[in-house]
Structure 1
Amino acid sequence: MGTTPLEHLLQESPDDLAAWRAYSDVLSEQDDARGRLIQLELRLAREVRDREREALRSEIDRLTEEHQESWDAELPEGVTAVARCHGFATKVAVDWSREAPARIAEARQGRFVTRLRIKPGAAAEESDAEYFSAGPDIDEYDMPLPPPPHEAGGLADLDLGGVRELDLSYFRIGDPGAEALAAAASTGRIETLDLRYCGIGDDGAAALATSGSFGDIRRLHLQYNRLTGEGVRALARFERLEALDLRYNRIGADGAQALIEAPFAGSLTRLLLHRRDVSDAGVQVLASAPQLPSALRSFWRSV
């Protein structure tokens, strides 16, 4: 399905209310009920009386219940809507399998699909269940040590063009999967990358940081991986970072020093870490770092 100039504008500027009003007219001319839905939801967003808001919500619910199944049917088999805007899927989820790259390529043709969630497939989940039922060892955070990485070499075959948010959280791809992901093609600008609980170490972080597909990352979630100070130093290549989650990584004082030396240090508005992630010495490094915004320094002085 080709994207019209108006749809492309809305992909780039999803908060452009005038463009949505124009698009609602286009859809209404095509007898698409989402044209009416846009009108109703834009009215609801404005200040109106309580009685009118109740009536608007009632009509929105009726339209959605009547048509959402058929709207979601526009997605390819094996792809589900995770988030929607005016009835259109904006974030979709795919279970990882041999067919996943083709399904993702087809899903990306959706008019407003710019956010992608890739989940472990059924085979990976069964393998994990067997591992944890056997009673795995516990790490110093009192959390179970993860089993070996899932097979995810096929991530290199992905075309991530047009994707703004990529979410692989809890898909334990490890360093091999991260290196495969780094080879994926992207002609767009991925701004949010969620890799929580993915089992990624320093080599995987370095591969992603040097990949041309992720040069525009603003928000990076790396909670509970296997990074050390060396891996944090590799993250310096993400020069535009604004939010970084490194909780439950053993980065130590060396990692704290790498953070304040990174080119994004002064632009950070959110930095999630625990004292034991960076050690007492690392806390002092962060608390006294002039490179960090004053709000972040003040927080670390109180830790």
Structure 2
Amino acid sequence: MEATALEQTLRERPDDEASWGAYGSLLREQGDIRGELIRLEQLHAHARPADRDELKRRVDLLVEEHQQTWDAELPPEATVRLRRHGFVLKVAVEWSEGAPTLIGKALQGRFVTGLHIMSGEEAEEADEDYYDDEPDFDEDDMPQPPPPHEVGALADLDLGGLTELGLAYFRIGDPGAEALAAAASDGRIETLDLRYCGISDAGPAALGASPNFRNVRRLHLQCNRLTAQGVRALAAFERLEELDLRYNPIGADGAQALIEAPFVGSLKRLLLYREDVSDAGAQKLAHAPQLPTALRSFWRSV
């Protein structure tokens, strides 16, 4: 198989170790040391316990010697979030005026299919404690709307080739969601992470109407400003398998909207608290025949 065909296969199926093995053989023929790294890491994965330490030592030496050179294929402003066999799979970029151009360059990496866009505030808080902070709440116990951000340029992004897109903790609000809906994409995004983004009901409506997100299977909307109306808009995400709506006051009407959604029978994971749907909403979920048995049983226990 040609290298380009293998690369396309690995973009679509990054866990396909047989294709990685074939790609490693091609790289070794081309003198790319990452071919040897693939070989050693695959040997390590299946080695006898007695052989693993030596293989791990050889892997570590290769990575230590060459990783900086491999990462130089990316713009220096991009932060690597995930690698496999020496190749970058996921990057993070801080939002700025020049971010659309920077992101375009970062996504040219041959296996980059995951992108996290950070706000300036998040980038300044590089330690893990940042993710323990929650936004301020208003008098109705709703997360405060986001401060003004220049998010209209999100519409200038080319998201083609991405399977995972995250903007968690970047409070883009509904204008940002609407801009994302207008961005260029080939519609391959399967994971969309919009936790703590200050999105209300108009955001899911815009995203659901966009072909960019027609294949989303995992949608994370924890701690936004959604009500039952926003949950009804989620009906456009027909392929959902995992949905996180925690800390959104969707109420009993929101629970009913979930039960009536076209994806409800395919859900494998639904993250909600009783307080999000009210006691009446919890009862609805507990006795909804549309929900998979495991999820329905869970609601009977809370």
> How far is 1:242 from its partner?
0.1
> How far is 1:25 from its partner?
1.5
Task: Please state if 1:210 is matched with 2:209.
Answer: yes
SS in 2 for 1:4: helix
CA separation of 1:124/1:139 partners in 2, compared to 1, >3 Å: closer, same or farther?
A: farther
SS in 1 for 2:277: helix
CA separation of 1:224/1:136 partners in 2, compared to 1, >3 Å: closer, same or farther?
A: closer
Whether the aligned pair in 2 keeps the contact of 1:252 and 1:282 (CA below 8 Å) is: yes
Task: Please state if 1:4 is matched with 2:7.
Answer: no
What is the percentage of aligned positions where both structures have the same residue? 67
| Partner residue in 1 for 2:114 | 115
> How far is 1:147 from its partner?
4.6
| Partner residue in 2 for 1:30 | 30
4+ residue runs over 6 A deviation: 123-126
CA separation of 1:69/1:278 partners in 2, compared to 1, >3 Å: closer, same or farther?
A: same
Residue deviations 1:106-137 (CA, integer Å, cap 9, x gap):
111111000001000259969xxxxxxxx966
**Tell me, which stretches of 5 or more residues in structure 1 are unaligned?**
127-134
| Partner residue in 2 for 1:39 | 39
> How far is 1:18 from its partner?
2.4
| Partner residue in 1 for 2:256 | 257
Residue deviations 1:38-67 (CA, integer Å, cap 9, x gap):
001111111x22220111111111111111
Residue deviations 1:190-246 (CA, integer Å, cap 9, x gap):
000000000000011110111110000000000000000000000000000000000
SS in 1 for 2:91: strand
Task: Letter of the 1:155 partner, please give it.
Answer: L
Whether the aligned pair in 1 keeps the contact of 2:177 and 2:206 (CA below 8 Å) is: yes
Cα RMSD (Å): 2.0
Task: Letter of the 2:276 partner, please give it.
Answer: D
CA separation of 1:302/1:91 partners in 2, compared to 1, >3 Å: closer, same or farther?
A: same
> How far is 1:87 from its partner?
0.6
| Partner residue in 2 for 1:158 | 157
SS in 1 for 2:275: helix
| Partner residue in 2 for 1:92 | 91
Task: Letter of the 1:240 partner, please give it.
Answer: R
CA separation of 1:243/1:203 partners in 2, compared to 1, >3 Å: closer, same or farther?
A: same
Task: Letter of the 2:243 partner, please give it.
Answer: L
Residue deviations 1:57-93 (CA, integer Å, cap 9, x gap):
1111111111111111110231121100101000011
> How far is 1:139 from its partner?
5.7
| Partner residue in 1 for 2:185 | 186
What is the CA–CA distance in structure 2 between the aligned matches of 1:80 and 1:240, rounded to whole Å? 30
| Partner residue in 2 for 1:266 | 265
Whether the aligned pair in 2 keeps the contact of 1:247 and 1:273 (CA below 8 Å) is: yes
> How far is 1:29 from its partner?
2.0
CA separation of 1:198/1:92 partners in 2, compared to 1, >3 Å: closer, same or farther?
A: same
CA separation of 1:202/1:26 partners in 2, compared to 1, >3 Å: closer, same or farther?
A: same
Whether the aligned pair in 2 keeps the contact of 1:150 and 1:171 (CA below 8 Å) is: no
Task: Letter of the 1:77 partner, please give it.
Answer: P
TM-score w.r.t. length of structure 2: 0.92
Alignment of 1:26-175 (within 5 A): 26-46=26-46, 48-121=47-120, 145=144, 147-175=146-174
| Partner residue in 1 for 2:297 | 298
**Tell me, which stretches of 5 or more residues in structure 2 are unaligned?**
126-134
Whether the aligned pair in 2 keeps the contact of 1:240 and 1:264 (CA below 8 Å) is: yes
TM-score w.r.t. length of structure 1: 0.91
| Partner residue in 2 for 1:200 | 199
What is the CA–CA distance in structure 2 between the aligned matches of 1:103 and 1:213, rounded to whole Å? 20
What is the CA–CA distance in structure 1 between the aligned matches of 2:70 and 2:124, rounded to whole Å? 30
SS in 2 for 1:118: strand
Alignment of 1:269-288 (within 5 A): 269-288=268-287
SS in 1 for 2:199: coil
CA separation of 1:204/1:283 partners in 2, compared to 1, >3 Å: closer, same or farther?
A: same
| Partner residue in 2 for 1:131 | none
